[in-house]
Amino acid sequence: MAGPVEFFTLVDEQGAPIGCATRAACHRNPALLHRVVHVLVRDAAGRLYLQKRARHKDIQPGKWDTSVGGHVQPGETTEQAARREMGEELGIHEQLPLVYRHEYLWRSAVESEYVTTYAGVFAGDPQPAPDEIDEGCWWTVAEMAARADELTPNCREELRRYHGELQP
């Protein structure tokens, strides 16, 4: 049995709301630009936590991705969405200090996203939600560079923006 229909707010290239569409429509029509958030969670040693996307996901299943990634729900701020997604995906519910990093447009053959990225340091062990994530672990820059072909294209773009060119 299918779940409830999920709606996303559509935005223009400056991020201003212009309408709404279903998740299914947004994930098959790159003309429908919608808001998403990413959170880059690192530890005190500077390693970055990456998640392996669940195999049932409709976009990039089974690929390694940013620590947290999700859609901004109608009426949410990007920071509210980032905190909600951290809780849902990694079980991080405490109020971590989040630092705004950047915004950019991400386009692929199947969808277009207006991405807002935050970063934060977490001292514990994330608890990935098995319905969202197949696995997760801490990566060094050298590990990410050596295994870049296992990362989603969007994750590679985030890492380029965050770390510069991925070189060990």
With tokens 């951290």, the residue in question is 86
Cα three-residue angle 53-93-59, rounded to 5 degrees: 20
Average pLDDT over residues 73-102: 94
pLDDT recorded at residue 110: 92
Q: Is the pLDDT of residue 86 over 50?
A: yes
Establish how many alpha carbons lie within 13 A of residue 98's alpha carbon, considering only the half-sphere containing its beta carbon. 24
- Position 165 pLDDT exceeds 70: no
pLDDT value of residue 168: 41
Architecture of domain 7-163: Alpha-Beta Complex (3.90)
| Statement: residue 100 has pLDDT above 80 | yes
Considering the chain, what is the average pLDDT of its residues? 92
pLDDT at position 31 is 97
